[in-house]
Amino acid sequence: MFVSKIRHIQALGARWSSSHYVTTPIFYVNAAPHIGHLYSAVIADAHCRYQRLRYPTTTVRLCTGTDEHGTKIQQAAAGHKVPVDQYCDEISARYRDVFKAASIAHDDFIRTTEQRHKQAVAHFWHRLKSRGHIYSAAYSGWYCVSDETFLTDSQLRLDESSGTRYSLESGHPVEWTEETNYMFRLSNFQDDVRHWVKQEARVRPAKFEKILLDTLSEPLPDVSVSRPANRVHWAIPVPNDDSQTVYVWLDALINYLSSLGYPNEEYLAYWPPAQQIIGKDILKFHGIYWPAFLLAAGLSPPQQLYVHSHWTVDGQKMSKSKHNVVDPVLAAKQYTMEGLRYFLLREGVAHSDGNFSHVKALRILNSELADTLGNLLSRACAKTLNPHQVYPASHVEHLPQLLQDLDAAKRLQEALLQLAGRCEQHYECNHFHLVADTVIATLHAANNFFECAKPWELKANGKTPDAQRLQTIIAMTMDALRLCGIVLQPMMPQLTSRLLDKLNVPSSERSWHHLNASFATGKQHNHQLDNQWSALLFQRIVEHQDKSTQEEQQQSSPSQSSKRSKTKKDQKAAKTIS
C-alpha cells in the first residue's frame, strides 16, 4: 500500500514538466494493419487522452507513422509487382485510415521516406561518426529479413531435416551473410545502458526490465549499422559513402527525433520522450540499441518504455499463412470501432498475451456496453419516467431519505466518491483493464440502485413527493452515468462524447476535475437533455443464425443442437473477422 502510494506520487511528479511526448512504434508497410498494430496505437492514444484530461496545462504530443525502408519492404513490393514507393504510399495510407477510423489523435504521422526524416538520419549518423562510435569492419552472421536483424546462435532454431535455420522470435528463416559494414560500438555502452534500465519505473511492466537486465548481464557485441547498397538499396544512403545504406533499425528509431524537427533545436521542447509504447518483440531495439545510440549521440534516452504483450487469435499467433489475421476494419463492422477499442483495452494486459476471440468480444461488449452502460442511459431517459426529458436536480429532503432507506444508494455514493482516485491510479500505470473494472463496478452499483429504488412505482407528474423522489433517483443515476462517461473518455472518445452530449454536459465540464461534482459531494445539475441525440448508446450485437444452422438444429436433439450451433457460430465469426 505504502509502496503503491509512493509510486503514485512519483508518477504525478513526472507530470510537473510542461510537455509530455509519447510515441508508438512506426509500422512496417510490408502488409496491412491488424489488431495487434492497432493495439499499440490505441494504448498510446488512450494514454495521451488521459494526460490531456488530467493535466490540462501540459502539452501532450503523440507521434506515430510508418517504417518504410529495408529488404522486407523491398521484397513485399516486388511480391505484389508494384513499384516500391507506390507500395509504401498505399500501405502507409491504410495505417493512416485505420488510425483515423479508430480516433487515434496523433499530432504527427511520420514516414521514414520523408525528406525531413532523411535529414535527421544523416545528422544523427554524423554525430555518431564524429564522436568515434562507428567503425568499418568485415561482418558475417545470420540475417533474418522478417526481423530485419542479425541473430546470434542462441536466437536461432535449426531444422535438422532441411538444414534451415529460423528466428526463434518470428519463426522466419535466416540467411548467412558476409559483408563489409559500418559497426556501432555497442559494447562501450553496456554499463550506461544497464544504469539507465535500472532507474525506477524505466521499463514497465517490470518483467520486461528483467529481460533487459538478463540480456545486459552478458557482454554486448557491437552491432552492424549499415548494409551494402547493392544488397539493400531501398534505404537511406550512408552520408559520404554511397556504397552503404543505413541499417533499417537505426533509420527507424530516429523517427522519434525527426518528428520533433531534429536537429533543429525545437525538438528540445519535447525531448526526451515521456513514454515510448512498444510491443514485446521490439524490446531489444528500444531497450538496448536505442538508449545506446542516444547516449552515443549525447542525447537523453526516454523516461519510460511501456511494453505490451501480443494478441493471439483463438490461442494461435496471428499469421497470414494461418488465415487468422484480424483486420480492424472488418472487426469494427461487427463491434463498432469504439467497441473494438474498448475490447482491446479492457481485455489486454501488458504483461501477458491476450486472446482475441469473437465469443469473448460479444460477451464483453454486450454485457458491459449494451446491458450495463447503454441500458441504464435508456432507462433514465425513458419518456415514461422522464416525461420532460431533463437531467434533474435531486431534492434536498429526498436525497438523504434515499441514502437512508437504501443500502444500494449508499453503495452508489461510496463508489462515486472513490471513482476518480481509483481510476487515476490505474490510468497513471496504463492499467486500462482496471479502469474498466472500476467503471463497470460503479455502473453495476448504479443499475442496482435503480432497481432497488423502483422509480417505475412513482408517479412522474406534478410537484408531489412521488415526483420529487423520482427526479432524485434519475438525478443520482445520471450523475453516475456522467461521471463514468468522463472517466471513460480516453478509452472510447466517440461513444462517451455521445453519452455526455445526450446528458447535455457542456464540453467545458468534461475534464478530470469535474469528477468532484455529483450528488455524492452535494453538487447539482438541472437542465434539459439534448434530444438531438439518441439514448441508444451501444446496440446489442445479435448474431443471426444462417439457414443451414437452423435446419441442422431442427434435425438434431436439443442438447446436440445447442452444441453444434455454437461451433458453427464460432466458425462464422472467425471467417468474418479474418
Phi-psi region of 27 (alpha: psi -120 to 50; beta: other; left: phi over 0): beta
Question: Mask of contacts with ligand MSP, 298-337, x by CB under 6 A?
Answer: ------------xx------x-------------------
Give helix 337-347 / helix 493-502 axis angle, nearest 10°.
110
Phi, psi dihedrals of residue 535, rounded to the nearest 5°: -90, 5
Q: Are 246 and 125 in contact (CB under 8 A)?
A: yes
Size of the site for ligand MSP (CB under 6 A): 19
- DSSP letter string over 277-318? EEEGGGHHIIIIIHHHHHHHTT-PPPS-EEEE--EEETTEE-
Q: How far is the CB of 253 from ligand MSP (least distance, A)?
A: 5
Residue ranges in 429-546 assigned as alpha helix (H): 432-453, 465-488, 493-502
Beta strand pairing call for 527-528 and 354-356: unpaired
C-alpha cell at 112: 521514414
| Nearest residue (CB) to ligand MSP, 281 versus 543 | 281
Residue nearer to ligand MSP on the CB measure, 253 or 429: 253
Determine if 108 is a binding residue for ligand MSP (CB under 6 A): no
Query: Pick from 46, 278, 377, 483: which binds ligand MSP (CB under 6 A)?
Result: 278
Task: Report the residue number, 84 or 318, with the smaller CB distance to ligand MSP.
Answer: 318
Query: Does residue number 67 form part of the binding site for ligand MSP (CB under 6 A)?
Result: yes
Q: Which string of x and - marks every residue 6-45 that binds ligand MSP (by CB under 6 A)?
A: -------------------xxxx-------xx-xx-----
Q: Which one-letter amino acid corresponds to residue 398? A: H
Q: Are 245 and 73 in contact (CB under 8 A)?
A: no
Q: Do 393 and 475 contact (CB within 8 A), yes or no?
A: yes
- Grid coordinates given for 149: 536483424
- Closest C-alpha to 148, from 167, 124, 133: 167
Q: Minimum distance between the CB of residue 226 and ligand MSP, rounded to whole angstroms?
A: 17
Q: Does 291 bind ligand MSP (CB under 6 A)?
A: no
User: Is residue 343 a contact residue for ligand MSP (CB under 6 A)?
Assistant: no
Choose the binding region for ligand MSP from 277-285, 412-420, 506-514, 523-531 (rule: CB under 6 A): 277-285
Q: In three state form, how does the secondary structure of 335-402 look?
A: HCHHHHHHHHHHHCECCECEEECHHHHHHHHHHHHHHHHHHHHHHHHCCCCCCCCEECCCCCCHHHHH
Q: In whole angstroms, how close is the CB of 91 to ligand MSP at the nearest point?
A: 10
The site map against ligand MSP for 233-252 (x = CB under 6 A) is -------------------x
Contact status, residue 308 vs residue 39, Cβ threshold 8 Å: yes
Output 112 or 472, the one with its CB closest to ligand MSP.
112
Does 253 sit near ligand MSP (CB under 6 A)? yes
**CB nearer ligand MSP, residue 69 or residue 469:** 69
Residue whose Cβ sits closest to ligand MSP: 279
> Considering beta carbons, is residue 37 or 411 the nearer one to ligand MSP?
37
**Least distance in angstroms from the C-beta of 254 to ligand MSP:** 8
CA distance 257 to 125: 13
Nearer to ligand MSP, 349 or 536 (CB): 349
Interface residue list for ligand MSP (CB under 6 A): 25-28, 36-37, 39-40, 67, 252-253, 255, 278-279, 281-282, 310-311, 318
